Amino acid sequence: MTMSSTPRQERLVLDYLASVAAAAADLPPARRDELIADLSEHIAVARSQSAGTEAGVRQILDRLGHPDEIVAEARHDAIAADPGGAAIGADQRHALIEADQGHVLIGADPGSAAALRDTTGTEAHRREARRREGPYPPGPRPPQFHARPTPLHAGPTPPLHARPQPPPSFPAWPAPPTQFHAPPVPARPPGAGISPVNVVILVVLVASCMLVLFLGAVALTIA
Amino acid sequence: MSGMESLPGLTAALRRGTLEFCVLAIVEDGQCYGVELVGRLAAEPALATSEGTLYPLLSRLRRAGWIATTWQESPVGPPRRYYQLTASGKEALAAFRWQWREFSGAVGRIVGTEQA
C-alpha cells in the first residue's frame, strides 16, 4: 500500500465481507469460513498492489462481484459435493449432466431457465443497477442453481479416470504454531522414592526387633 | 463476432464443467497466486465470470486434490497463497484435453464451424 488505509476503506471491506457472511449463513460453517478467508486474503493482497485509495478499494470489491453471486457458486458446490453424488459412476453422472443441461436449455423448467438467464448477459446492467442502489442491498437473492432437483451435474468431482485422492484437509489460515511438547520426564531409578522419614521409621523398626530378640535371649539365659 | 448477442444461459452452461480445467491449465506451467489466477480468468469477457465466484471453484479443486496450495511471503504486502497442479490434477487435465477435443470437434462438424 502506498497510502495508509483510512477507516472508511476498512469499513467498505468489512461491510463487503459482512454481506458475504450474511448471504452465506446457510452454508456449512467450514465452507463459509473458508470462503470468507479466501476473499479476505484476496482483498488484502490486491490492496497491497493497488494505489491505496478508496476508489481502488471499491474497484477491488467490484471486481470480486456481488456477494450473492459468490455465495450462490459456493452453495452450488456444497450440494454438488454431497457424498451421495460421488457414489454414482462416471457414465451415470455424465448422463445426468446431459439430461440436466438439456432440461434447462429447452426451458422445461421456467425457474431453472430464468436462473441461467440471470447469471449471464446482463452482468453490466446489473452492476450499474447495484452502483445506483448502494452497497449490497439485502433484497431478494438472484435465483440459484441449487434449487434444481438434480444437483449432481457440477464440480470437478466427475473423476475422468483416476479418482481424486481424499480431500486434503484445508489449511485454515497460516498454519498455527506447532505445539511445544515438554520432553518426557525420565524414569526415576528404583529406590529414589524413599524419603528420609521412611528411613528413620525403618531403622526404628529394625532396632525394636533386635531389642525384643536380645531381651528374649537374655530371659532364656537367665532361666 | 462482435455485436452478436449471446444466447441466454448458454455461457453459464458452457462454463460449467470447463472453467475448472482452465484453472488447471493456468497453473500447469508454474504456480500462481490467487489474485493473479482469478484476475486472468475474469479478464476473459467470453467466460463472463467475476473474480469472487472463482474462489469456491478453487476450493473445490483443492478438495478434489487436483491443486495444492502453499503460503509464501511476499516482498510487498501480506503472505500469498500459491496454487500448484498436483499429479492427479495433471491427469485430469490431460483427460479433459482429449475429451474436449473430441467433443468440440464433433459439435463443430455438426454445427458447421469446423470442416467435416
Which residues, listed in sequence order, are joined to residue A135 by a DSSP beta bridge?
none
Strands B80-85 vs B67-72: parallel, antiparallel or unpaired: antiparallel
Tell me the backbone φ, ψ of residue B14, rounded to 5 degrees: -70, -35
pLDDT at position A38:
96
Report which DSSP code applies to A203. H
- pLDDT band of A86, cuts 50, 70, 90: very low
pLDDT at position A140:
39
Q: What is the C-alpha to C-alpha distance for residues A25 and A196, in angstroms, rounded to an integer? A: 66
Taking the Cβ of residue A49 and every Cβ of chain B, the question of whether any pair is shorter than 8 Å is answered with yes
Q: What string of pLDDT tens digits covers the 116 residues of chain B?
A: 556 788 888 998 999 889 999 999 999 988 899 999 999 999 999 999 999 999 999 999 999 999 999 999 998 889 999 999 999 999 999 999 999 999 999 999 999 998 76
Taking the Cβ of residue A79 and every Cβ of chain B, the question of whether any pair is shorter than 8 Å is answered with no
Residue B92 CA, chain-centre distance (Å), reads 12
Write down the number of H helices and E strands in chain A.
Answer: 9, 0
pLDDT at position A80:
54
ipTM: 0.91
Q: Which residue of A has its CA nearest to B99?
A: A160
Report which DSSP code applies to A152. -
Half-sphere exposure of B1 (CA within 13 A, CB side): 4
Q: What is the C-alpha to C-alpha distance for residues A15 and B84, in angstroms, rounded to an integer? A: 32
Cβ count near A53 (within 10 Å): 15
Alpha-carbon distance values, A100 to A72, A75, A81, B35, B107 (Å): 18, 18, 17, 33, 19
Q: Which residue of B has its CA nearest to A75?
A: B56
- pLDDT band of A79, cuts 50, 70, 90: low
pLDDT at position A87:
34
Q: What is the C-alpha to C-alpha distance for residues B35 and B88, in angstroms, rounded to an integer? A: 24
Q: What is the C-alpha to C-alpha distance for residues B28 and B40, in angstroms, rounded to an integer? A: 14
3-state secondary structure at position A155 = coil
Smallest Cα distance from B115 to chain A, Å: 25
Mean of pLDDT values over A25-34: 95
Question: What is the phi-psi region of residue A17: left when phi exceeds 0, alpha when psi lies from -120 to 50, beta otherwise?
Answer: alpha
Between chains, do B34 and A156 touch, taking CB under 8 Å as contact?
no
